[in-house]
């Protein structure tokens, strides 16, 4: 499963307070964080499960995403999510 994560400087140009890391380290950490978050993911409407991945074209067509992603760097972060067992 792949998803898209964003990161950016604030609009004031200030750096994040996160420790300095290389792109490779940031991508590795993003994959670890997403895998951890996927285990308990709950959507705003109360449903569970990671939303489906969207293409860059779908993201560009989403006005909400465009507003949130001003000055962002977009990266595809591959990660594994454990499938829930059938009840």
- pLDDT digit string, tens, across residues 57-76: 999 999 999 999 998 888 88
Rounded to a whole number of angstroms, the distance between the first and last alpha carbons of the chain is 23
- Give CA angle at 28 (22, 33), nearest 5°: 120
Output the pTM of the full model.
0.52
Provide the H-helix boundaries in 1-87: 23-38, 56-60, 63-68
pLDDT at position 18, please?
54
- Give me the torsion for CA of 43, 45, 46, 47, rounded to 10°: -70
SS3 29: helix
Short-list 38, 59, 34, 33, CA closest to 49: 38
CA distance 87 to 84: 9
In the chain, domain spans: 2-8+21-78
Model confidence over 14-37: pLDDT tens digits? 445 455 678 888 888 888 888 888
Q: Output the pLDDT for position 87.
A: 45
């Amino acid at each position: 499963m792949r998803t898209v994560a964003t990161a950016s400087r604030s609009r004031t140009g200030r750096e994040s307070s996160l420790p300095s890391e290389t792109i490779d380290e940031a991508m590795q950490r993003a994959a670890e964080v997403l895998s951890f978050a996927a285990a308990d993911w709950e959507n705003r409407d109360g449903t569970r499960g990671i939303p489906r991945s969207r293409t860059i074209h779908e993201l560009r067509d989403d006005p909400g995403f465009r507003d949130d992603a001003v000055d962002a760097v977009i990266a595809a972060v591959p990660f594994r999510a454990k499938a829930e067992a059938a009840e």
